[in-house]
Amino acid sequence: MPDKRVRTLFDDADEHELKVPTSCRRSGRCRECIVEVKAGDEFLEPPTEVENFLRPPYRLACQASVTSPGAKIEFSVLRRKRACRRARSGECSGPSTGRRMVPSSGS
What is the value of pTM for the model shown?
0.72
| The amino acid at 44 | L
Question: Residue 40: is its pLDDT beyond 80?
Answer: yes
Q: Rounded to an integer, what distance in angstroms lies between the CA atom of residue 53 and that of residue 64?
A: 14
| Average pLDDT value for residue range 33-47 | 97
34-39 β-sheet, strand order: 58-60, 34-39, 74-77, 101-103
- Which residues lie closer than 8 Å to 55 by C-beta, 6 or more apart? none
Q: How confident is the model at residue 43 (pLDDT cuts 50, 70, 90)?
A: very high
pLDDT, tens digit (0-9, with 9 covering 90-100), for 76-97: 999 765 544 444 444 433 333 4
